[in-house]
Amino acid sequence: MEKKEFRAESKRLLDLMVNSIYTHKEIFLRELISNASDAIDKIYYKALTDENIIFNKDDYYIRIVADKDNRTLTISDTGIGMSKEELEDNLGIIANSGSFAFKKENELRDGFDIIGQFGVGFYSAFMVSETVTVISKGFGSDEAYKWESNGADGYTIEPCKKDNIGTDIILKIKQNSEDEKYDEFLEEYRLRGIIKKYSDFIRYPIKMDITKSKLKEGSEDEYEEYLEEEVLNSMVPIWRKNRNELTKEDYENFYLEKHFGFDKPVKSIHLSVDGVVRYNAILFIPSKTPYDFYTKEYEKGLELYSNGVLIMNKCPDLLPDYFSFVKGVVDSEDLSLNISREILQHDRQLKLMAKKIGDKIKDELSLLLKNERETYEEFYENFGRQLKYGIYSDFGMNKETLQDLLMFYSSKEKKMVTLEEYISRMPEEQKYIYYASGESIERIDRLPQAELVKDKGYEILYFTDEIDEFAIKMLMNYKEKEFKSISSGDLGIETDEKDEEINSEIEENKDLFKLMKEILSDKVKDIKPSKRLKKHPVCLTSEGELSIEMEKILNTMPN
């Protein structure tokens, strides 16, 4: 039997790849910078294992040069470079990753976070380039080579001159067409933006000459432009730093820098997890509600990095809905990415991370409630509804997580209290946790139904938020105490009056009740003498599952 190799139409394959893997053209820069960083990592690794090589940190950097006149963008690095063979193998064979092989060969352990693995990132350069020229001099060789391709008809390779070891990638940027714009990839501000977004935490400096202007010498109003080299990336991600070295301000600055909000976070949470999935995370609880928080437009999620390279702007799977207000970043070296590095391959790692993150947020909120009551109350004012919504929408599944974070206004304390506080004050004979629903505290205060409960010395929780009663219905009980609306028919409170007295009242006022019922025929179900009224002459109660307030809300909802 003859065995044949698969053949691929490489031109088409390249086209397919380049134009269908990536959703954003701008990521070509992320890919090329990641490659440059990998190349420097490799020489660094070599230096660690070979004492003949001296690694002087200042000699290693990545440089970006945009030349508008010639429409070229050059990405240079002082990394390990490529020999002629390596140029052919790594750039001539699609899906061949020299970096992946390097990792395997050297059995790289922790700390060596080489990014490359799929052997396709390089070709993303063709999304924005007519031609790509690679000039490289490999470590240990005297000759430099030039590799060149237009992405369709293969490539050429020839010797050339280059002084230092390392690689220059020169992109001839495409011309703008009617529906595709490429000029932006030659603009300083745009390049800076892309680098900040995706490559801010690349560990080597990414340098670029930035145009500045200053007053001309001897002139008072004439300016001249000049170039000044800047390092565009911050290099060490704050989450990789030691918690003890960081101040509250460091976290707050990071929060601002990331545009998580204009406020100061109530709480910064720094996590370093070394378990099955290793990751670092910094999470923030904002102090102000984002303007769009309670709208459909709001998108929850954390920024997700793989080895310091941004993979996803908002990864929703890392946060439960009830903590959707949390902002932050997660960086892991253990993520299985798909080829475009835009989506994740497996969600098992994500699930593990999400679980831990959720638990941590809960713990921090509990601590806040315990130790900084006022701050917690402010937090609750902003995001309490989301917690209650969490209980409601998951049918009480998150009861354990959320119930102790809830707060309601108390008739007794005249302030917000927790359920735990409520039951700790309950007289022994009190069977239920009483609540009253209404539009406002003042309105509930005046409810005639509240009298008897208050007279008994029982505390009432005021539900002024529409979601309150719905959430409580899902909770059903708290520490085995059931919730009871003060407007429900049976309050579970014994009164001094005898049933006989009531019965005789019914007898005596038969005609009055009959008349009242006739007049209110379609408005009420029944009219009865009540045991619960004190000062007020009448009150409304409901018998079914729903309180009157809840029914009102349901009636206003569109079907």
Residue 550 binds which entry of Mg ion, ligand ADP, none, with Cβ cut-offs from 5 to 8 Å by kind? none
Q: Contact with ligand ADP (CB under 6 A): which of 78, 83, 97, 403?
A: 97
Q: Examine residue 121 and tell whether it contacts ligand ADP (CB under 6 A).
A: yes
Which amino acid, one-letter code, is at 425?
Answer: R
Selected binder of ligand ADP within 100, 139, 155, 182 (CB under 6 A): 100
Q: Which does 83 bind (CB under 5 to 8 A by kind): Mg ion, ligand ADP, none?
A: none
Least Cβ distance, residue 297 to ligand ADP (angstroms)? 36
Among 18, 33, 82, 319, the residue binding ligand ADP under the rule CB under 6 A is 82
**Is 448 among the residues that bind ligand ADP (CB under 6 A)?**
no
User: Which residue number is nearest to Mg ion in terms of Cβ?
Assistant: 121
141 contributes a contact to ligand ADP by CB under 6 A? no
By CB under 6 A, is residue 39 in contact with ligand ADP?
yes
Q: Binder to Mg ion among 27, 28, 33, 35 (CB under 5 A)? A: 35
Q: Which CB atom, from 39 or from 447, has the smaller least distance to ligand ADP?
A: 39
Phi, psi for residue 95 in degrees, rounded to 5: 70, 25
Residues 146-175 that bind ligand ADP (CB under 6 A): 167
From CA 61, how far away is CA 46, in angstroms rounded? 16
Give the one entry of Mg ion, ligand ADP, none that residue 98 binds, where binding means its C-beta sits below a cut-off of 5 to 8 angstroms depending on kind.
Answer: ligand ADP
Residue from 26, 33, 35, 237 in contact with ligand ADP (CB under 6 A): 35
Closest to 393 in 3D by CA, of 467, 481, 484:
467
Q: Which stretch binds ligand ADP (CB under 6 A): 91-99, 199-207, 413-421, 430-438?
A: 91-99
Amino acid at 421: E
Stretch that binds ligand ADP, among 30-38, 291-299, 378-386, 391-399 (CB under 6 A): 30-38
Strands (E) across 402-506 are located at 408-410, 416-417, 433-437, 460-463, 477-478, 481-485
Output Rg (C-alpha) for the chain, integer angstroms: 34
Q: Is 36 in the site for ligand ADP (CB under 6 A)?
A: yes
Q: Does 78 bind Mg ion (CB under 5 A)?
A: no
Choose, by CB under 6 A, the member of 72, 74, 106, 117 that binds ligand ADP.
117
d(CA 538, CA 449): 9
State which of residues 60, 112, 122, 458 lies at the interface with ligand ADP (CB under 6 A).
122
Query: Which phi and psi (to 5°) does residue 174 adopt?
Result: -60, 155
Residue 44 CB partners (closer than 8 Å, separation 6+): 55, 60
Among 26, 31, 469, 549, binds ligand ADP (CB under 6 A): 31
By CB under 6 A, is residue 64 in contact with ligand ADP? Answer: no
Q: Which residues of 149-184 are buried (b: 16+ CB within 10 A; e: fewer)?
A: bebeeebebeeeebeebbbbbbbbbbeeeeeeebeb
Establish if 121 lies at the interface with Mg ion (CB under 5 A): yes
Shortest separation between residue 168's beta carbon and ligand ADP, angstroms? 9
Comparison of 117 and 287: residue with beta carbon closer to ligand ADP: 117
Structure tokens at 300: 């929850």
Residues 6+ apart with CB under 8 A from 20: none
Looking at the DSSP assignment, which residues form a beta bridge with residue 461? 410, 435
DSSP characters for 101-116? HHHHHTT--TT-----
> Residue 41 interacts with ligand ADP (CB under 6 A)?
no
Q: Measured between alpha carbons, how far is residue 349 from residues 275, 354, 545 in Å?
A: 11, 9, 42
Out of 26, 41, 43, 99, which residue is the one contacting ligand ADP (CB under 6 A)? 99
Q: Choose the one of ligand ADP, Mg ion, none that binds residue 90, judging by a C-beta under 5 to 8 angstroms depending on kind.
A: ligand ADP
Per CB under 6 A, the list member of 55, 118, 139, 293 interacting with ligand ADP is 118
Query: In whole angstroms, what is the distance from residue 557 CA to residue 261 CA?
Result: 33
Q: Which member of 83, 90, 133, 280 binds ligand ADP (CB under 6 A)?
A: 90
116 contributes a contact to Mg ion by CB under 5 A: yes
Taking CB under 6 A as the binding criterion, the range among 111-119, 188-196, 244-252, 326-334 that sits at the site for ligand ADP is 111-119
State the binding partner of 170 from ligand ADP, Mg ion, none, CB within 5 to 8 A by kind.
Answer: none
Binding span for Mg ion by CB under 5 A among 54-62, 72-80, 112-120, 284-292: 112-120
- Which helix (H) or strand (E) is 135 found in, with range? strand 129-137
Count the helices and strands in the chain (H runs, E runs): 17, 19
Smallest separation, CB 30 to Mg ion (Å): 9
Distance of closest approach, residue 151 Cβ to ligand ADP, in angstroms: 13
Nearer to Mg ion, 37 or 403 (CB): 37
Residue type, 217: E
Q: Pick one of ligand ADP, Mg ion, none as the site partner of residue 448 (Cβ within 5 to 8 A by kind).
A: none
Task: Kindly give the interhelix angle for 348-371 and 373-393, rounded to the nearest 10 degrees.
Answer: 140
Nearer to ligand ADP, 20 or 213 (CB): 20
Closest distance to ligand ADP from the beta carbon of 292 (Å): 37
| DSSP code, position 192 | H
Is residue 103 within 8 Å of 45, Cβ to Cβ?
no
The residue among 119 and 358 lying less far from ligand ADP, judged by its C-beta, is 119
Q: How many CB atoms lie within 10 A of CB 438?
A: 20
**Contacts with 83 (C-beta within 8 Å, 6 or more apart), sequence order:** 138, 141, 145
Task: Return the axis-axis angle of helices 373-393 and 466-475, rounded to nearest 10°.
Answer: 70
Q: Say whether residue 133 binds ligand ADP (CB under 6 A).
A: no
Q: Could you tell me which of 35, 37, 42, 32 has the C-alpha nearest to residue 140?
A: 42
Q: Alpha carbon of 57 to those of 2, 78, 114, 116, 210: distances in Å?
A: 54, 11, 17, 22, 23
Q: Where do contacts with ligand ADP occur on this chain (CB under 6 A)?
A: 31, 35-36, 39, 77, 79-82, 90-91, 97-100, 116-122, 167
- Point out which residues bind Mg ion (CB under 5 A): 35, 116, 121
